[in-house]
Every structure is written in C-alpha cells, then in structure tokens.
Amino acid sequence: MRTDSVTWFSEGTRISGLFRRPDSISGPVPAIVQGPGWLGLKDAKLYVRYHEALTNAGYAVLIFDYRGFGDSDGDRGVISPAAQLADLRNAVTYLTTRDDVVADAIGVFGSGGTGGGNAVLLAAADPRVKAAVSQLPVADGADWLHRMRSEYEWLEFLAALDEDRAQRVLTGTGRLVHPREEIMVPTAERRSTKVKSDVDGKIPTSVPLACAEEIIAYRPVDAAGTLTTPLMVIGVENDATTPTDHAEAVYAAAGGPKSLIMQRHTSHYAAYDRYWTAVTPRIVSWFDRWLRPADVVVRTTTPDTGGAEHTENLEVPA
C-alpha cells in the first residue's frame, strides 16, 4: 500500500488527506472515501488495517481531516455535520479529478458514531457514490445525546443550550465546552480504551457548546429512508456507545440492496479487534459486489420487489 499526502479545497477551505492505493496496480482503480468517526483524525492507526485490506483488494482509499480538525484548515474544533457532509462531497469531487481513480466507481466507508452516520448521509446525497458501508452509526443525534444522560441531566443540558443561545444573541459569544465530556458523555469503556490513544491527544478540548445544536438535528436515519444505494450496516449488540437500535433503524429504513452485520458477545471498542478477521472480508466483498465501473447500467423492476427498481453496474473489459 502506497500512501501520499494530498490537499484540495472544500468551499474555499484547504482539506488535508491521505490517498492510499495498491502497490501492484498501475492503472485507474475504484476508490473509497472515508471521513473519520466522532472527533477522529485521518492518521488514526485504527483505520490503517481497513485500508490495507481494501488496497490489497484493488481499491484506493481517501481519508481526510474534516475542516477545523487535524491538518485541515478551518475554525478549530467546530463540529458541524453539515460542513462535514460538504467536505465528503468535495472529497468525492477530488477523487473524480484523479487520473488513477475510476470516476464512476466511488464508494464510502464510515466508522464510529458520526463517521458511520456521515457515510449514510453521503450515499443519500451524492449519486456518484455507488456503494456504502456504515459501521457503528449514529442514526438520530438527539436520541444519541439524550441516552448518554439521565432525564434530569438531559433537561439541564437542553436548558444550558437555551441559555447559551440567548447569550450568543446578546453578547456575540457562547460557552466553550469539552466535546467528549460535555457534549458526548464517554462510557467507562471509552475512558479506558487504547483503541484511539494515538490521536486522542490531538483532538480539540474546547469547542462551542452551540455545536450540540447541529448534533441534535442530525438524522442519518431519515436519509437512509431515501437511500437506494447498496448499504452495509455493521452494529454491536448491546452497544452502550452508539446504540444497537441505531444501526438496526438505518438498516430497516434503507430501500436498496442492504446487509446488516451484528457483532455479539463484545462491546463497541472491543469489537474492532475481536471481530476484525470476520467482518473485514465482508466489507471487502460488499464493495467487490457493488462498486464496479458503470460501463453498462442495468435497471430491473419485478413484481416481487413491490415495484422498486434494482440497478446493477457492469464492467466491460477494454
């Protein structure tokens, strides 16, 4: 696997990414774009083995830091799912400009909270994305933040948002908070895990409380309801970090070809290691099945699909 540092612009903001491709293939290859998970960065070691599996299978992978994070420009630490979706769409556009990428064979992989949710949002918003894998997604931001708190803590949190909104109107500035302690509330497992220890020290420790308003409005499950792009969803049974029923809801809502993998007898962070060898080949196989150059497009509607149209892309060798 060869890794190159690359940059492009998203709505005028310079974005920093890593472009990885197979060593053994010289011509254009299908490509997969990835935005990191919640508060994640492109150079997290957690992602490397996924990228190695994908590049070994003949895919290029583009992972990048969202604006305001890591090596990308932008307002430091502003968490905006809307801006992240724009960054993902512009990353797809960047891939289409590369001579070593098959421009009509681009997929998305997202892992961990908003990483998984953003993959669904991108697939629903951008028809250039031909296949998607969403691992441990958040489906409903309000429900996600609510379930981290007791009911009285949730009501206090909403009251703090109301007060902050008023202060921003009256003074022009709002409160700054720790994103992992005062927006997302970490589980005991998150506090002790070393899965993301290589990048944990690089994330912002102070972000506007106002960012929580966009998280509360975050609804990948609604986007899934419009989705006909092939979608694989990966969840963890009894997940205390991204609730299991979020993955199940995204899967149930999706209207196209879909697959749900549920990892049992584990936990959110332990699953990355425990089920690595079982799940990763299925991710690769999903892209092998659905992420093909569209030399010939076949659209089929049959009575047993209830009138839903099924689209299949065929590659014709030169």
With the C-alpha atoms ordered 107, 264, 217, 174, is the resulting torsion angle positive or negative? negative
The pLDDT value recorded for residue 189 is 72
The pLDDT value recorded for residue 207 is 92
Of 15-19, 37-41, 59-63, 308-312, the range with the lowest mean pLDDT is: 308-312
When pLDDT is cut at 50, 70 and 90, the band that residue 201 belongs to is confident
The pLDDT value recorded for residue 181 is 85
Higher pLDDT residue, 269 or 65? 65
When pLDDT is cut at 50, 70 and 90, the band that residue 82 belongs to is very high
With the C-alpha atoms ordered 40, 44, 49, 51, is the resulting torsion angle positive or negative? positive
The pLDDT value recorded for residue 308 is 66
The pLDDT value recorded for residue 254 is 97
> Could you give the percent of the chain with pLDDT greater than 70?
95
Q: Is the pLDDT of residue 196 over 70?
A: no
When pLDDT is cut at 50, 70 and 90, the band that residue 280 belongs to is very high
When pLDDT is cut at 50, 70 and 90, the band that residue 214 belongs to is very high
**What is the phi/psi pair of residue 315, to 5°?**
-95, 130
Q: Is the pLDDT of residue 302 over 80?
A: no
What's the chain's average pLDDT? 92
The pLDDT value recorded for residue 200 is 66
Higher pLDDT residue, 302 or 239? 239
Architecture field, domain 2-139+219-314: 3-Layer(aba) Sandwich (3.40)
**pTM > 0.85: yes or no:** yes
Of 98-112, 210-224, 283-297, the range with the lowest mean pLDDT is: 283-297
Segment 95-119 shows an average pLDDT of 96
When pLDDT is cut at 50, 70 and 90, the band that residue 37 belongs to is confident
Of 115-124, 203-212, 224-233, the range with the lowest mean pLDDT is: 203-212
Q: Is the pLDDT of residue 212 over 70?
A: yes
The pLDDT value recorded for residue 283 is 97
Segment 58-77 shows an average pLDDT of 95
Segment 94-111 shows an average pLDDT of 97
Segment 224-240 shows an average pLDDT of 95
When pLDDT is cut at 50, 70 and 90, the band that residue 188 belongs to is confident
Q: Domain ranges for the chain, please list them.
A: 2-139+219-314
Tell how strand 207-208 and strand 176-177 pair up: antiparallel
- Assign 3-class secondary structure to the chain: CEEEEEEEEECCEEEEEEEEECCCCCCCEEEEEECCCCCCCCCCHHHHHHHHHHHHCCCEEEEECCCCCCCCCCCCCCCCHHHHHHHHHHHHHHHHCCCCEEEEEEEEEEEEEHHHHHHHHHHHHCCCEEEEEEEEECCCHHHHHHCCCCHHHHHHHHHHHHHHHHHHHHHCCCCEECHHHHHCCCCHHHHHCCCCHHHHCCCCCCEECCHHHHHHCCCHHHHHCCCCCCEEEEEECCCCCCCHHHHHHHHHHCCCCEEEEEECCCCCCHHHHHCHHHHHHHHHHHHHHHCCCCCEEEEEECHHHCCCEEEEEECCCC
